[in-house]
Structure 1
Amino acid sequence: MASNKGLGRGIEALFSDSDIQSEETVSEIKLTQLVPNPYQPRKQFDSNALADLANSIGKSGVFQPIIVRKAAMNGQYEILAGERRFRASEKAHKTTIPAIVRNVSDEQMMEIAVLENLQREDLTAIEEAEAYNTLMTNLKLTQAQVASRLGKSRSYVANYLRLLGLPNEVKTMVQKKQLSMGQARALLSVSDKDALRKLARKVYDQTLTVRQINKAIEEMGTSTKPKRAKKTSRATRKSPFLRETEDQLQDRFGTSVSINNTPNKHGNGKIEIDYMSNEDLNRILKLLDIHID
């Protein structure tokens, strides 16, 4: 793995390697030679904002060069930063765009895509969650490491990752900004997926607040808030080591993890990892480097 340069220090922190010269050449590259960053977390671009940018580019051109790297396919370039300018240039019927070519690794490319969008774009909560999950899965980072490299708290990253356990229909509502981050987080406490979908539609139709959502969940009786654990005996009480191990596993998988140290009939303990959907299970399997065809 490449060096862990802190993302929180800005995009330029990723370009401080000795092979990058202080004086760079700006070249005009054909739009047909450019392909989007495969790690781009943004799935939707505001059409009105894109139209405004295209109008500006049509009149005045592109003032800030985009940043690209040479792609594996001969003659093509992958966009590291500046996909909005690229898309707007296409809409403005431009044939070329000013660009700086840089030599960066896949890891740096992934980090740049996430950082540029987090700093400069209004990502949806789902796009942000998927960006964190991409860093964790592809770079084999923990939540704490992702949080540190992005200059955020671990709980902040964990709260976003939990959204990936929502049913697809509800995630689409969050993606379309029909549900806010706070509303989506409140819905996570509903265990029954059909009930969750039904309540999500009600939240959107009636514009329910988080307080109203929590009240509706209490009335439904489907909250999955953990029940108070029964008092354990001294023999089964978890040691500081086990509690710390649980914390680290929860950090790694972005979900609740429990280590049961009470021996079964075979004398073995067990580790339980919670997941909320098939998609969430697949996310955890990827983190375990388990691939099922």
Structure 2
Amino acid sequence: MSTIAASARIHPHAVVEDGAVIGENVVIGPFCRIGPRVVLHDDVEVVSNAVVTGLTEVGKGSRIFPMAVIGGVSQSLHEAGEDSRLVIGARCTMREGVTMNTGTVGGGGITSVGDDCLFLANSHVAHDCHLGNGIILSNNVMLAGHVQVADRAILSGGCAVHQFSRIGRQAFIGGLSAVNYDVIPYGMLNGNPGLLGGLNVVGMTRAGIDRAVIHQVRKAYKAIFDGEGAIRPKAAAIRDEFLDCPEALEVIDFILADSDRAISSPYRGKA
């Protein structure tokens, strides 16, 4: 049996299946379908003509626009109908045509999205992706399975991210870019194949990062990516130099972490 708060407003042309949990002040518009294992927390709005299905939880104050399908079964070739989840944080916005899939058992069983994220029209979050807070996916952005995106990253329109890739905090991905490899925190990547083009200084400044800190991060970036030599050994060699700069250390430790993908650079993929 569904649990529906008295203050919820459900249009008579919407379908809320038995078992759904509907919080206070939730608004469900016409021609929406809410599945039997869905939880909509307080103040969620599902505007109209949208589907929320699967074992899906939508955080407080989030909004879902027409033609979105949230919590659909994964498109993985290994999908076998096992229970898996999609968890979306508070105050997220999913615009028209957005699709988000639940996880797969082989990938950990959960797709997760943090708070205050914005997903513009027709963007896609595949199975077993893990997204932080304050992220923007512009129109037609495509995340393949198992992608990790850290806080406040911005992905511009039409870019595609290879499965198992990581995108670091406050990275900026240019429109129509192909993200084939991991992108460092604060990095800017453009093109197909995507090439690292420096640091997202504008984003760092807007985030309140001090100019002296930005200079330190730039110094670390140049030491790692300029000149000859492999990226990871060069990052390891300078780590002790930047122990007093958490932002530079974040970049270095991101590079040194275990990953299924190589690190994007200004050169990787150039003919």
More strand by share: 2
TM-score range, shorter chain: under 0.3
**Structure 1 length-normalised TM:** 0.25
**Structure 2 length-normalised TM:** 0.27
More helix by share: 1
Q: Which has the larger radius of gyration?
A: 1
